[in-house]
Amino acid sequence: LRRSPGEVCFPGGKSEATDKDDIDTALREAKEEVGLQPEKVEVICRLMPGIDKMNNLVTPVVGFIEDTFQITPNPDEVSEVFVVPLEYFVKPLNYKTFFYKTSSGYLTRIHCFTYDDQEHKKSFKIWGLTAHFAVFLALVIFGERPTFEVDYDLDNLISSSENNFINLYASIYERKKSNL
């Protein structure tokens, strides 16, 4: 909660020297933040990385867990936990989009979902990189067009996501180079 307080995000964080790779980092962070034991996760893949607002490279790791998993949030890192059906990120009830120009001048679409959680009787705003990763995963899993516009060629989802990432990364690299 020290960084980005009040924002919705997936478990995760910075790699440590003891982490072998991105998967190790993701499993360690999930254990620290929500009590998910690494041996209870069937890791499926890593998705195309993204770049956060501080220009850090973020690599999402996708895995399956049992629906019987009992979440134990670490109060030093997590204020509350909720679950959203993945399909919500292709067929949302409450959605808006806006465009954002990064500090490097790259224009990108920001997805913003408001999810009404009946269990907690509360609404949660899911946007930015968290929404970006959720939308991409939903597109991969469901293979159908969302009810809103996306910055991908849906007939070539993987290659268009690679191109989007390369363009974003290149714009950041060019800005860093011009500031030297």
Q: Give the start-to-end residue ranges of the domains of the chain.
A: 1-81, 82-179
The DSSP letter of residue 127 is: E
Q: What is the pLDDT of residue 36?
A: 97
pLDDT at residue 1 in the model: 44
Q: Which two tokens stand for residue 160?
A: 């268009």
- Identify the CA nearest to 43 among candidates 32, 28, 53: 28
Cβ neighbour number for residue 134 with a 10 Å cutoff: 21
Closest Cα to residue 133, out of 175, 103, 161, 170?
161
Q: Name the CA radius of gyration of the chain, rounded.
A: 17
The CB-based long-range contact list for 16-20 (8 Å cut-off, 24+ gap) reads none
Residue appearing with tokens 């895995």: 63
Q: What is the pTM of this model?
A: 0.90
Instruction: Provide block-wise average pLDDT over 10 residues at a time, the chain (180 residues).
Output: 73 95 97 97 96 89 95 93 96 95 80 94 95 97 95 94 89 67
